[in-house]
Amino acid sequence: MQKFLFRKPILFAIYAVVFLLPAACRQHGEPTADKRQSEMFEKMTLPAPAARKKEKELAIHGDTRIDNYYWLNERENPEVIAYLEAENAYTDTILSHTKAFQEKLYEEIIARIQPDEESVPYLDNGYYYLTRFEKGKEYPIYARKKGSLETAEEVMIDVNELAKEHSYYNVGGESVSPHNKLLAFGEDTLSRRIYTLRFKNLETGEMLHDEVAGTTGSAVWANDNQTVFYVAKDPVTLRSFKVMRHKLGTHAREDQVVFREDDPTFSVFAYKSKSRKYIIIGSYATLSQEYRVLDADSPEGAFRVIQPRERGLEYSIAHFDDKFFIRTNLDARNFRLMVTDEQKTAKENWQEVIPHREDVLLEDMDVFRDFLVLSERRNGITQIRIRPWQGEEHYIDFGEDAYMAYTTTNLEYDTELLRIGYTSLTTPNTTYDYNMRSREFKMLKQQAVLGGFDARDYQSERVYVTARDGAKVPVSIVYRKGFKKDGSQPLLLYGYGSYGASMEPYFSSVRLSLLDRGFAFAIAHIRGGEEMGRYWYEDGKLLKKKNTFTDFIDCAEYLLQGKYTSQDKLFAMGGSAGGLLMGAVVNMRPDLWRGVIAAVPFVDVVTTMLDESIPLTTGEFDEWGNPKNKEYYDYIKSYSPYDNVEAKAYPPMLVTTGLHDSQVQYWEPAKWVAKLRELKTDKNPLLLHTNMDAGHGGASGRYQRYRETAMEYAFMLDLVGANESGEEHKD
């Protein structure tokens, strides 16, 4: 779709005049912080875009909802494009006095990034693979070295070259054939996460004629070096719904379906076992998984099921020698580890290796010739457990109370070295090789943070907030040393709380632009995530979803009572399902916030979950509930942000979205903003920014994504009167 399809002459004539106002102000020198802030609110008297109301009745269960902005889901309608562009113009105007500040923040953020950065190489099948960036370029270069890091580099893909003709470009799913001569990769030029598979001869540098459209972007090689398996997406729902077999040199229309997932609540994926023996197909829903395997030496053969799906039975598999290790919730809410013969895989054959524990969530596993590695979460923190097949087991000691530790790329089977990543709120991301036998660390790389960063200048805390029902909610906090807990300094509270996704206390060099200007940053580890175990997730989903929202509000109240900040300096932020969180808490407690940023927010929950043609809907009934059931309809409607907008005062808000978003469709935030404009009684800024070239993840370039971050930071900093020098404006 072209970015500019249609413009309403009257609307754009208004904004052409409005755009002249900031320039006129600057003719007599840059305005002061006081003047800029007053100008922001003066501009609230400018006419905001008003989406046309077209009444749409939505009736079910004897209940009728009137949706005046339902029509905004017409992506090809020129009037919709005109409205989104009018909102963008309005946002640009209201924030025009911060343009220089946004540029300063952007330059500051990217100046901390090592311009010619290179990843830590990893060994796979005789080659060391690495990703690097060259100074001034937006996209990565994927390369490898044969046998040794001292050999000449072979560039596999220079994404900068491939991206030249596209406003959005992303490469994913790079996979090299077993004989190391061919590369498969996916390319997305629209940001809908629909990839075309392409193939390259790494010996000649030539691209093969084979191209396969409509995929997830990944290909799995059989051991014959000629056959690949890939996952196709439904063109309407974008559900990953079938696995195809492609033979190099043939046209994609000749590809064979090897598995089709007919249950619309399930999606599929495919990968190769670490042992390289099996091609594996996984079918997954929120509460159930099922796996199929095929000998990689026999790509024309038939897949066999490991354990048939059962509702409520979750499991994952890892192949080792003549066995499968199985992580499962079978009679184990926090999961346990089982093992079974590779030919006798039904659950009645499973034998317990690691029992269930009420206080420990078994998150992941990795197998080596001499070791089993487990990732376990206790008290919100992931710990890495080393279990030799023979000898004494141990946990890796990282020497901190709050951190994020994880296993990274460990493709080699016969090694004592475990590649791990480590970070904390004050420690940049660090990559280690850990010797599982000697228990020695070798630091391979720590993220470079340019511009004089010193970790000793910052401090982190982890506190536990007693929620209204007695639950203890962890909150991770970071600030620059010297932060005053007297209510005088601003704080940004971040949350997500869905899908069992745990929000980790990780380092961000971008965040320093807030911390160095007096902000504290806090993560509320609210229910709906999995920080405190499986029950933490179950207590924040379906008919307990409101715990997510009240937890976040209770964390905010705690921070106010502890004088970490005050109500006129407390900000909230969340994205996607975290944007739903933002929509719910501004409806429930609009008075708490000085400002709110809702990124790609999922806010029209009832309507979306009733429409099974919308991407992701059918796979999420076990997360939110199916509103075709009246009990779930009533409950979802009681918190759905769009359905609960009222005629009352709301805090200043910045809402962002992407026209091509495949996860949360652009019309949800667009409708929400339109309805808020219609009903809210305050004069606080309400801004909608739509990236007309991107989707859920924003811009594709290495640096360009931070343009939006700079806008968000400028929005918050301006509301507390922080000027370009970082000094706080005093009223």
Residues in the chain: 731
The whole-angstrom separation of Cα 18 and Cα 47 is 10
Q: 124 catalytic, yes or no?
A: no
DSSP 11: H
Contact assessment for residue 420 and residue 120, using Cβ atoms and an 8 Å cutoff: no
Three-class DSSP category at 206: coil
Q: How many CB atoms lie under 10 A from the CB of residue 247?
A: 17
DSSP codes of every residue in 556-616: HHHHHHTTS--GGGEEEEEETHHHHHHHHHHHH-GGG-SEEEEES----HHHHHH-TTSTT
Closest to 328 in 3D by CA, of 347, 345, 349: 347
Considering just the CA atoms, what is the radius of gyration of the chain in Å?
Answer: 26
Contact assessment for residue 90 and residue 690, using Cβ atoms and an 8 Å cutoff: no
Tokens at 496, concatenated: 């997500």
Intra-chain end-to-end CA distance of the chain, in Å: 47
Q: What are phi and psi of 347, to 5 degrees?
A: -60, -25
Q: 356 catalytic, yes or no?
A: no
Closest to 554 in 3D by CA, of 630, 471, 668, 488: 471
Which residue's entry shows tokens 């409205």?
83
Q: What are 376-382's contacts with CB under 8 Å, separation 24+?
A: 377/502, 377/530, 377/531, 377/533, 379/474, 379/532, 380/474, 380/502, 380/525, 380/531, 380/532, 382/406, 382/502, 382/504
Q: Where are the alpha helices (DSSP H) in 250-358?
A: none
DSSP 695: B
Given the residues 661, 662, 693, 718, the one annotated as active site: 661
Contact assessment for residue 688 and residue 655, using Cβ atoms and an 8 Å cutoff: yes
- Longest Cα–Cα distance of the chain, Å, equals 81
The whole-angstrom separation of Cα 700 and Cα 351 is 46
Which residue's entry shows tokens 């995530």?
529
The whole-angstrom separation of Cα 291 and Cα 274 is 15
Closest to 444 in 3D by CA, of 474, 487, 473, 408: 408
Closest to 174 in 3D by CA, of 153, 202, 148: 202
Closest to 137 in 3D by CA, of 725, 712, 721, 701: 701
Q: How many CB atoms lie under 10 A from the CB of residue 292?
A: 20
The whole-angstrom separation of Cα 556 and Cα 577 is 19
Closest to 193 in 3D by CA, of 223, 258, 242, 237: 237
Q: 696 catalytic, yes or no?
A: yes
Given the residues 576, 640, 662, 700, the one annotated as active site: 576
Given the residues 640, 696, 700, 718, the one annotated as active site: 696
Active site residues: 576, 661, 696
